[in-house]
Chains A and B, each alone.
Chain A
Amino acid sequence: MGMLGQAGDHEWSQQHLSHYVEGELRPRARRRLDRHARGCVDCGRGIRAMRALVYAVQGLDGLAGIRAPATIFDRVRLAGPGGAASSQNA
C-alpha cells in the first residue's frame, strides 16, 4: 500500500475507534481497521485508550452517593391535585 493509502487508513481508523469498540463496524470495515492497527502503534494504542475511556466513563456513575433532594416534589404539592388536569403548559 502506498503512503497515501496508509495515511488515509490511519485517519479513517482514528475517526472510527469508537465505532470499533462499540462493535458497529461492518466486517469489511472492521478488518480494515484491524489490519491497519496491527502495523500502527498509534491506532493500536487508540483502541486500548478508547476501550479504557468507555470503561472509565461507565465508572463515573456515582449514583450510590447522590440522592434526589427531599424538596423534589414541593412544586407538585403546591400545584395540588388540580395541577395535573388544569395546566396546558407541560
Chain B
Amino acid sequence: MAGPDGQVPDAAETEASLLARAQAGDVAAFERLSGAYADRLFMLLYRLLGDRAEAEDIAQEVMLRAWRGITRFRGQSSYFTWLYRIAMNEANRALEKRARRPAGVSIGAQELELPTAPEEEPSRQAENSELRRALNQALAGLPPPLRTAIVLRDVEGLSTQEAAEIAGVSQAAFKSRLHQARLRVRAAVGDEALVSSGG
C-alpha cells in the first residue's frame, strides 16, 4: 500500500517482507518500512501541532509506539493508515496536554511558518503569501477535530474513507467535521480573499 504521495519502500511486496522482518525484531527493516512515510508523517504532525520542536518530539514517540506495537499489526488496514492513526493519537494527546497548560501557551499562526514549495514561481509565492498566512492562521484557530479533518482530507489529499479511519470516526462524522471546518475557514479568511486568489 502506497502513501498518498505514492512512496513505498520499493514495491508492495517489499513492504510485506520488511513488515515481516520488523515484526521479527529487525530494527533496520522497521526503519526502512516506516522511513518511507516519515516526511509525510512529520509534516502532518507539524501541521496539526504548529510547533516544529514539538512535532519532532512527537514524531519520535510515534515511531517508538509503532515499533513497540508492530507485532500486533495484523494488516487489517494499510501500514500507512496504521502509522498515521498512531500519529493522530499522539498529536491529540499532545494537544490535550497543551490545553491543560496555563493560558498563553497555545498554537499560533506565527509558529506555523511552513515553507512554500520550492518549485513554485516567485511571483506566485508573493501573490499567495498573504492568502497562505490567512489560511494557516484560520487552520491553527480551528478546534483540533475540525483541523484534523481539513488537514487529512484537503491538505494531505486522503480519501474520505482513509481519512475517517485515521481520525477514528465514521465517514459521516468525518464529513460533518470537514464541512464545518471549511465553513469556519471560509468565514475567517473571507470570500473576497478567496475568490480573488483565482482558485
Which A residues lie at the B interface, using CB under 8 A? 15-19, 22, 24, 45-46, 48-69, 71-77, 79-87, 89-90
Taking CB atoms and an 8 Å cut-off, the chain B residues in 169-199 that contact chain A are 175, 178-179, 182-183, 185-186, 189, 191, 194-195, 197-199
What is the size, in residues, of chain B's interface with A at 8 Å between Cβ atoms? 63
Give the distance in Å from the alpha carbon of A9 to the alpha carbon of B35 in the complex: 50
Contact A84 B154 (CB under 8 A): no
Contact B199 A51 (CB under 8 A): yes
List 18 A-B pairs, Cβ < 8 Å: A15-B183, A19-B175, A22-B179, A48-B195, A49-B186, A49-B191, A60-B135, A61-B117, A62-B115, A74-B60, A75-B61, A75-B63, A81-B27, A83-B64, A83-B68, A87-B68, A87-B69, A90-B86
Known interface pairs A51-B199, A52-B197, A72-B63; A60-B25 also in contact (CB < 8 Å): no
**B residues near A50, Cβ cutoff 8 Å:** 182, 186, 194
Give the distance in Å from the alpha carbon of A63 to the alpha carbon of B40 in the complex: 7
One digit per residue, 1 when the CB lies within 8 angstroms of any chain A CB and 0 when it does not, for chain B 72-93 equals 1000000000000010000000
- A45 CB, nearest partner CB in chain B, Å: 5
- B190 CB, nearest partner CB in chain A, Å: 8
Known interface pairs A49-B191, A68-B38; A76-B63 also in contact (CB < 8 Å): yes
Give the distance in Å from the alpha carbon of A39 to the alpha carbon of B183 in the complex: 21
Contact B131 A56 (CB under 8 A): yes
Contact A60 B182 (CB under 8 A): no
Known interface pairs A19-B179, A74-B60, A85-B71; A90-B43 also in contact (CB < 8 Å): no
Contact A56 B5 (CB under 8 A): no
**Which of A19, A57, A77, A89 is in CB contact (< 8 Å) with B150?**
A57
